[in-house]
Amino acid sequence: MPQEPDFIHDLNKQQQRAVRHGEGPLLIVAGAGSGKTRVLTYRIAYLIQQQKATPNEILALTFTNKAATEMKERIGELIGDQARRLWMGTFHSVFSKILRYEAEKIGFNSDYSIYDTDDSKNAIKQILRENSYDPKEIKPRILQRRISDAKNELIHPGQYNEKFVHSTLDEITATIYDIYVQRLKHNNAMDFDDLLIKPIELFNKYDEVLAKYQDRFKYILIDEYQDTNHAQYTVTNMLAEKYKNLCVVGDDAQSIYSFRGADIRNILDFKNDYEDAVKIPLEQNYRSTKAILKAADSIIKKNDSQLDKTLWTDNDTGDMITVLDNYDERDEANRVADYIQKLKRRKGYDFGDFAILYRTNYQSRVFEETFRRKGITYQLVGGLSFYQRKEIKDVLAYLTLLINPHDDTNLRRIINEPSRGIGNKSMQGLMLRARETGQSLWEILKNVEEADIYTPAENSVKDFVAMINELKRDLANGKKLIDVTKKLLEKSGYMKSLVEENSPKSMTRRENILELENAISYFEKDNANATLSAFLQEISLITDTDKYDEDKPAVTMMTVHAAKGLEFPAVFVVGLEEELFPVGSRDNEEVNIEEERRLFYVAITRAQQDLFFSHCRSRYKYGEEQRKKRSRFLDEVSSDVVRTETGASIKQNDNAFSSSKNSNQNNNSGNHVEYDRQKPQYNKNNKSSGGTKIHYDNPDGDPFQVGAQVEHNVFGPGKIISRSGQGEKTKVVVFFKDRGRKTLMLRAAKLEVVG
């Protein structure tokens, strides 16, 4: 047995236990910031260094390409070039690779297309039309979601029709599901779900194939095991059945993807599935301050379904968490922007050190507008992906046809893009003939003279077929991918049409296509034997998180779901209101409040040094202003570590704060003032309809502090958001509900505090 490597001493005792674990199943319960990636990479390196397995006998599965790349690089630093031989990647990429080798056994060829969600929805939309359903009434995205859920639960079309039809929509789903599965096979295409369920079909059908991969993978390691769905659980258990060297790493407290089919029971019941499994908790957090960890722990302990663990850290206590109480979303965005600029000055942060986390993507709009106005650079994660843009999807559809011309969905997309005189009437005739003869649309196009269509359209079809065949020959003869792509763009007229349009939008599209050419060039440079099939597979599996650029000097805006696995020095969790975060209402039994609480826990544990919670009293929805209640989660977090902007403690009772001049809540001396946090009501003349007004010359002291609610005889109601200067030179910045932000000299402003 080789001597233990020096790198083992970089780990704490629990991490060393996990890395050194020998044969048999292993459950590593890795709390947030506890170094799970390090443990996973070191364990793989240790297995190889100790000669327990060769690199190609280890299968490591992740949920993002970014995670897989980072892990492989780290392993390479520990053991050298051997890391390149590892089977490591996302579930979809690894099983797509296996299917490329074995596809013919289940009726596909190795150059099958991979449909993303939009491709699937387009295929379903076409099937709906063919079966006399209106896609405006029966939404393709709803059927796509239902079909995806069924696939991930391993429910086949026949089973769905027999056991799950209880309504008209169920009947339509069953019909479309059956046709959709047949259509994918006809098109030599698989969707994302197929990349997980087709291996199960393959292994069930061919024992010798299953045995081959069971023998190959002596050790299987799975990252983020709490995010696995039923299909992922099934296929990995099949592969691990022989050696049972299955190591899973995860945190039940971060299980937040049930809407994608993730099943928290997979990690909670791991010890039931493998009775002899060793469980090792990783509880030392290296990321966050003690205050942030206490907040996270106080939240997650409210959940019933969880594995026992308590995070701890040797880090400093850190600053208290600040709660921002805002009028509305505009006020919220302005306040967050001001805090970012203040923290940059005070702590030396860069814009890239900040993250804005929200529950839903639409919340980004007001922050984007505010940041642009204030000159704050930002990056938006989870918006429209580069590879989802129309022009990029068009070019990729052309490229797909060069290796899989039987893909009717992509063929229909670009046969008349740009316009080449093949209109809807001609296309309907061609597709009808394809359905009647059972042939692919490509086969019909190759023999278009046998179809009864308009002569100019027939000639255009012949030209189109000749172009595709010429480009296919170029590929077969070894021409470089970038050269084939440039020739395609020229001969198809696609680039020319954008140049001739000569609009700002068309120029942007042209620039995007040039960037796609760059991506193809880089791919060829980085891969000695680059193929078009490999390139299309790689980009088809890119996720939102893969697009995050941690080196970009910009504030990151993303949903909490997209932020899992990331960390930032300063984090703002915004929109903490009932019906937004958590979603739904207090009385809605459909809301999985434990998962929403786990989502809040994930948001908290992204922060390293500074953490802010933010909520609004009102928010616009459907064009109307609606009153909001602050999130119940703000009443659940430990009051020991949360303060208002003035440093006052928070009373967790009936959505009211308690303010005290002394922020130490154990000190009962001094005046204790409770104040109503409900938004003041004003009449049409902008005069207060209730409350006590305090004038600037109030003898009891200066009430015009940050956070005070004020009224101005012209600007109406507002809130002091910053203050500077002293004496007669004192200035305040007030955010007025109807007039926006104003800077006023306090002595001349004629402000009144509404108490």
Would you name the residues annotated as active-site residues? 36-37, 223-224, 254, 606
Is 35 marked as binding a ligand?
yes
Is 34 marked as binding a ligand?
yes
Residue 454: its H or E element: none
Would the CA dihedral through 6, 7, 13, 16 be positive or negative?
negative
Q: Biggest alpha carbon distance in the chain?
A: 97
CA pair distance 237, 230, nearest whole angstrom: 11
CA pair distance 543, 541, nearest whole angstrom: 6
CA pair distance 682, 717, nearest whole angstrom: 8
Please name the residues in contact with 343: beta carbons below 8 A apart, sequence gap of 6 or more: 349, 354, 570, 610
- The token pair that represents 400 in the structure block: 């797909």
CA pair distance 321, 323, nearest whole angstrom: 7
Strands 58-62, 219-222: pairing kind: parallel
CA pair distance 355, 571, nearest whole angstrom: 5
Terminal-residue alpha carbon distance, the chain? 75
Is 33 marked as binding a ligand?
yes
User: In the beta sheet, which residues pair with residue 754?
Assistant: 693
User: In the beta sheet, which residues pair with residue 162?
Assistant: none
DSSP structure string for 645-687 = TTS-B---BTTB-EEESS--TT---S-EEE---SPPPB-TTS-
Radius of gyration of the chain (CA): 30
Helix (H, G, I), strand (E, B) or coil at 435: helix
CA triple 12-18-24, angle to 5 deg: 165
Residue 719: its H or E element: strand 716-724
Is 564 marked as binding a ligand?
no
Is 31 marked as binding a ligand?
yes
Nearest one of 166, 117, 163, 162 to 143, comparing CA atoms = 117
Helix (H, G, I), strand (E, B) or coil at 463: helix
DSSP state of 289: -
Helix (H, G, I), strand (E, B) or coil at 76: helix
* Helix, strand, coil shares, percent, the chain, to 5: 50, 15, 35
Q: Mark residue 596 as left, alpha or beta (left: phi above 0; alpha: psi -120 to 50; beta: remaining).
A: alpha
Decide if 351 contacts 549 (C-beta within 8 A): no
Please name the residues in contact with 292: beta carbons below 8 A apart, sequence gap of 6 or more: 318, 321, 604, 605, 607, 608, 611, 641
Please name the residues in contact with 738: beta carbons below 8 A apart, sequence gap of 6 or more: 715, 716, 717
CA triple 140-142-143, angle to 5 deg: 65
Please name the residues in contact with 505: beta carbons below 8 A apart, sequence gap of 6 or more: none
Q: In this structure, which amino acid lies at residue 452?
A: D
Preceding peptide of 680 cis, ω within 30°: no
CA pair distance 253, 602, nearest whole angstrom: 8
User: In the beta sheet, which residues pair with residue 607?
Assistant: 568
Please name the residues in contact with 8: beta carbons below 8 A apart, sequence gap of 6 or more: 16, 19, 20, 42, 46
DSSP structure string for 162-218 = HHS--SHHHHHHHHHHHHHHHHHHHTTEEETTHHHHHHHHHHHH-HHHHHHHHHH-S
Is 240 marked as binding a ligand?
no
- The token pair that represents 458 in the structure block: 């027939």
**Binding-site residue set for ATP:** 30-37
**Binding-site residue set:** 30-37
